[in-house]
Amino acid sequence: MKVINKHSSDYSYEEGLNMYIDNDGNFLSEDMLPEDMQKELRMERMADYESEAERNMAEAENKYYNKIRNAYLAGDKEGILEYANYCLDNECEYKACDDKKVRKEFIEVIEKAAKLGHIRSIENLTLAYYHGDEDYFRPNLNKFLYWAKRGEKSNDPEFLSSLGDIYLVVYNNRDEDKYAQKAIDIYIRAAELGSVEAM
């Protein structure tokens, strides 16, 4: 039996299967095809499943994004915190975004969440105002110190170890003993939480 393949890769698995006919013009089921053609169809079926899964995931993420963003815009506390987590989880995406309004909103979300005591946002602002970021923040010592004081309550040993390092730099630059003491206190806390660097 001769098999004529009128199939194109632009078609889905189901559409592709309907394009296999024999020399009498009869449609062939998958199991009637030669093994190489069956293999090709199986690969296309898998690609279709993967594409559909990706579409469904993108739709679900878009729905979730709109839900938490609308809650944030409505001033809902939980919405602000959840949206801040989303922004921090997708920070690279926001940094790559050309839309200045979107980037401005990202900063506003983080700052509002930080004012509500959201520790991840506080950690983010502490490091951002110390190191600076060309797209978002200019280094600002006063703002760093403001957020760093709140960041001392963090339970993240890596963040605390970094904060101790920064306090030492501030101590060296300002020659104020209180920052050396802060660094020591922070290192002790970070070490107790398991930071090898702080130890």
pLDDT score for 80: 95
SS3 letters across 26-79: CECCHHHCCHHHHHHHHHHHHHHHHHHHHHHHHHHHHHHHHHHHHHHHCCCHHH
pLDDT score for 3: 44
C-alpha distances (whole Å) from 103 to each of 12, 86, 89, 114, 162 are: 38, 13, 14, 17, 26
Token pair of 50 as six digits: 């993967």
pLDDT score for 16: 55
Instruction: Tally Cβ neighbours within 10 Å of residue 17.
Output: 19
Q: Per-residue pLDDT for 69 more than 90?
A: yes
pLDDT score for 25: 63
Q: CB of 177 within 8 A of CB of 171? A: yes
Q: CB of 166 within 8 A of CB of 130? A: yes
Tens digits of residue pLDDT in 119-169? 999 999 998 888 887 667 788 899 999 999 999 888 999 989 999 999 999
C-alpha distances (whole Å) from 185 to each of 28, 29, 156, 192 are: 76, 73, 15, 11
Tokens 């199991």 correspond to 31
Q: Per-residue pLDDT for 1 more than 60?
A: no
Closest CA to 133 of 189, 95, 87, 177: 95
Q: 156 burial class (0-12, 13-18, 19+ CB within 10 angstroms)? A: middle
Degrees to nearest 5, angle at CA 48 with 43 and 53: 125
Of the given ranges (39-48, 52-61, 182-191), which has the lowest mean pLDDT?
A: 39-48
Provide the b/e sequence for 23-44 (b: ≥16 CB within 10 Å). Answer: eeeeebeeeebeeebeebbeeb
